[in-house]
């Protein structure tokens, strides 16, 4: 799926998520005000004006291949949902796994197409329409890292401060498997990190507070 016939606020937000840009970065790339991007997040059914449609077309056309692939997957997931509202808007949900093994937590190093280059994150994956978040958590962790885990606790959810995506956070227990990079397209590396060193890889202010508290309590 390479063409969007009519951009909505939701599709614009999916493009932003695929590009892995903050509201400020996405606005700067489009040459628009940050409040416009914020409006798309608050009202996904809004249809941008003609000039904005053209700007979104251009950004999408010039996006790196990996970002276009992510965008296509996100859009296909939305269009395949049977729970979409009459306006066609649906909240994209992502399962995030904090997999604990003794004094360590599992992290993945993702490829970024913007100037930052690489980012360290917890294993994560899109929750497909109709799927249980816990199932997605276990499956995506295995697919990305080769690690088998079991969900022990739901830590809550939030709209991610960078991507605007609804994230569901789970505390998981390591069961078996060697940590390996099983998704060389999206990721560069996978490794176990001491729990007290996670903030050296991921900025503390972007970590879900209940998850950060849990990591601090365990150390």
Q: Which pLDDT score, from 0 to 100, does residue 118 have?
A: 63
Distance, in Å, from the CA atom of 6 to the CA atom of 78, rounded to the nearest integer, reads 15
List Cα–Cα distances, 25 to 35, 37, 138, in angstroms. 12, 10, 32
- Domains in the chain, ordered, with CATH? 9-79 (1.10.260), 93-218 (3.90.79.10)
pLDDT band at 172 (very low <50, low <70, confident <90, very high): very high
- For residue 151, list its beta bridge partners: 172
Alpha-carbon dihedral angle through residues 27, 33, 37, 40, given to the nearest 10 degrees = -150
Which is it for strands 166-176 and 93-101: parallel, antiparallel or unpaired? parallel
Instruction: Record the tokens describing residue 168, joined without a space.
Output: 């569901």
> How many angstroms separate the CA atoms of 31 and 19, rounded?
16
DSSP state, residue 85 = -
- Assess contact for 155 and 171: CB atoms under 8 A: yes
Write out pLDDT tens, residues 180-214.
998 777 788 899 999 989 999 998 888 989 999 88
Angle at 163 between CA 34 and CA 154, to 5 degrees: 140
Q: Stretch 126-141: mean pLDDT, rounded?
A: 86
Tens-digit pLDDT profile for residues 84-127:
443 334 457 889 999 999 999 999 998 765 444 568 999 988 88
Pull the structure tokens for residue 27: 């606005």
pTM: 0.59
Residue 216 has pLDDT above 50, yes or no: yes
pLDDT per residue over 15-56, tens digit each? 998 899 888 899 899 988 887 888 888 777 788 888 889 999
Confidence of residue 142 (pLDDT cuts 50, 70, 90): very high
What would the two tokens of residue 69 be?
Answer: 């692939």
Residue 91's pLDDT is 59
Residue 202, phi-psi category: left (phi > 0), alpha (psi -120 to 50), beta (remainder): beta
Share of the chain above pLDDT 70, in %: 87
Beta strand pairing call for 93-101 and 104-111: antiparallel
């Amino acid at each position: 799926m390479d063409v969007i016939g009519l951009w909505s606020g939701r599709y614009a937000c999916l493009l932003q998520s695929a590009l892995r840009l903050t509201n400020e970065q996405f606005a700067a790339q489009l040459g628009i005000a940050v409040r416009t991007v914020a409006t798309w997040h608050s009202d996904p059914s809004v249809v941008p004006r003609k000039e904005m449609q053209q700007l979104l077309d251009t950004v999408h056309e010039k996006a790196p291949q990996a970002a276009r692939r992510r965008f296509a997957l996100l859009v296909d997931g939305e269009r395949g949902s049977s729970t979409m509202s009459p306006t066609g808007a649906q909240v994209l949900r992502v399962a995030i796994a904090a997999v604990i093994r003794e004094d360590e937590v599992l992290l993945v190093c993702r490829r970024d197409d913007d100037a930052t280059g690489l980012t360290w994150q917890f294993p994560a994956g899109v929750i497909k329409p109709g799927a249980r978040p816990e199932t997605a958590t276990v499956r995506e962790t295995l697919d990305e890292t080769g690690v088998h885990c079991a969900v022990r606790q739901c830590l809550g959810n939030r709209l991610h401060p960078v991507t605007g995506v609804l994230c569901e956070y789970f505390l998981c227990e390591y069961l078996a498997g060697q940590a390996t990079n099983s998704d060389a397209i999206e990721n560069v590396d996978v490794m176990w990190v001491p729990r007290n060193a996670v903030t050296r890889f991921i900025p503390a202010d972007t970590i879900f507070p209940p998850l950060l508290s849990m990591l601090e309590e365990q150390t």
